Amino acid sequence: MSTTKIRIAIDCMGGDIGVPVTVSAAWDFAQRYPDTGFLLAGDEAAIRGQLKTLGCGRDDWYQVLPASEVVLMDDPVEVALRRKKDSSMRVAVQAVKDGLADACVSSGNTGAWMAISRYVLKMLDGIDRPAIATSIPNQKGGATTMLDLGANVDCTAEHLLQFAIMGTALATALNGRDKPTVGLLNIGEEVIKGNEVVKQAAELLRASGLNFYGNVEGDDICKGTVDVIVCDGFVGNVVLKSIEGVAKMISTMMRAEFKRNAFTMLSGLVAMPVLNRLRGKVDNRRYNGAALLGLRGIVIKSHGSADPYAYGHALLRAREAVHNGLLEGTTSAIHNLRQSLQAAAEQSAKISNDISGPGH
């Protein structure tokens, strides 16, 4: 472990499968990225058993952090937070808090992971609430960063502004965007354009110094109109799942069409290489790894159903976030925002002073 530059703590017990996925993905990752080491939190016997099964002969890339409890998928947040104080989740987050790890990853219960991370790490100055962000593949061949995806159901305009700051920092760190464009998710030509919160948020964003594009609509997510899209967690969660649902429907229906008879099966065989290439491009396993933003540490959430390939992508997101300085980027973005807002306030004070004239 002494030679690795980046260290990621893993909740090895999380997800539908647990160690066979998490430990396998970590070992595979360590071989591909020799600069990255892992802190494996969980049941020590299970972890060492899995390492043996994998035939992993080296021990220079990991350290086991024993944890006696496991947060279950249906554990209430209260139970996860107050009763299971030696859970693999808690131990993984604590490693970040203690400076042993640079980031942590779990594929367990989202609510518990969020609550424990927030409790242990605390929020960054200037951010009220954490947000969940992910990348969605778009038509331009890139990815659209979208947040919030379910951490915050009722949001104020200020929260949406904070999401925009965090999303900007994330898109810069993960997708290498310089001054990423930010869109505010809104409704279009219909009767009433947006609710009050969204209207206020647009005003804040215009004054923020961020690269604010303006309102965007649902179809702009996949068009790739902007780099970052902000919305409240209710809308984001429903939209993300709707998108996953339609992609799944199309792929299921396509499979059924190709299986209809001998002729269609044959044409399916011919078309398969092309369709597989397409599937590779929109494969949601490649986009696995949502970021829990606004915390004093890098926290990544993998899908519970992730296989080792998908889990590896969540680990990659953690590594990139560390490597590209996501936390520093977020902190400096908050700082810049404050300066922008202060400058705007001083400017307007000066104007009002000039108008009042020297007599006052």
Return the range that interacts with its own copies (CB under 8 A); candidates 21-29, 33-41, 227-235, 316-324. 227-235
The yes or no reply on residue 235 touching its own copies (CB under 8 A) is yes
Q: Which residues contact 65 (CB under 8 A, 6 or more apart)?
A: 9, 39, 40, 41, 42, 91, 92, 95
Q: How far apart, in Å, are the Cα atoms of 298 and each of 110, 117, 144?
A: 15, 9, 20
Name the minimum Å distance from CB 312 to its own copies. 23
Q: At its nearest, how many Å lie between its own copies and the CB of residue 274?
A: 5
Strands 143-147 and 298-301, bridge-based pairing: unpaired
Residues 201-220 that bind its own copies (CB under 8 A): 217-220
Site for its own copies in 34-63 (CB under 8 A): none
- Under 8 Å CB-to-CB from 345, ≥6 apart: which residues? none
Given the complex with its own copies, which of 86 and 244 has the nearer CB atom? 244
Candidate list 246, 343, 344, 351; residue touching its own copies; CB under 8 A: 246
**Three-state helix/strand/coil letters over 250-317:** HHHHHHHHHCCCHHHHHHHHHHHHHHHHHHHHHCHHHHCCEEEECECCEEEECCCCCCHHHHHHHHHH
Near its own copies by CB under 8 A: residue from 24, 138, 172, 330: 138
**Structural contact between residues 182 and 230, judged by C-beta atoms closer than 8 angstroms:** yes
CA 240 to CA 328: how far, in whole Å? 28
The pattern of x and - marking residues 69 through 98 that bind its own copies according to CB under 8 A reads ----x---x---------------------
Q: Do 143 and 116 contact (CB within 8 A), yes or no?
A: no
Does position 277 interact with its own copies (CB under 8 A)? The reply is yes
> Is 234 among the residues that bind its own copies (CB under 8 A)?
yes
**Closest to 39 (Cα-Cα) out of 69, 6, 80:** 6
Q: Among 59, 78, 245, 332, which residue sits at the site for its own copies (rule: CB under 8 A)?
A: 245
Q: Rounded to the nearest whole angstrom, what is the least distance from the CB of residue 199 to its own copies in the complex?
A: 10
Q: Give the C-alpha separation, 101 to 7, whole Å.
A: 5
Does the protein bind its own copies through residue 281 (CB under 8 A)?
yes
As measured in angstroms, the least distance from the Cβ of 104 to its own copies is 18
Among 300, 286, 291, 298, residue whose Cα is nearest residue 149:
291
Residue 264: CB atoms within 10 Å: 13
The correct pick among 1, 45, 123, 278 for binding its own copies (CB under 8 A) is: 278
Other beta carbons within 10 angstroms of residue 1's beta carbon come to 13
Q: Which is nearer to its own copies, 176 or 188 (CB)?
A: 188
The answer to whether 58 and 27 have CB atoms below 8 angstroms apart is no
Region binding its own copies by CB under 8 A among candidate stretches 14-22, 37-45, 131-139, 159-167: 131-139
By CB under 8 A, tell whether 262 contacts its own copies: no
Count of residues in contact with its own copies, rule CB under 8 A? 72
Interacting positions 169-208 with its own copies (CB under 8 A): 185-192, 194-196
**Least distance (Å) from its own copies to the CB of residue 15?**
13
| By CB under 8 A, residue 250 contacts its own copies | yes
- Site for its own copies (CB under 8 A): which residue of 85, 97, 223, 286? 223
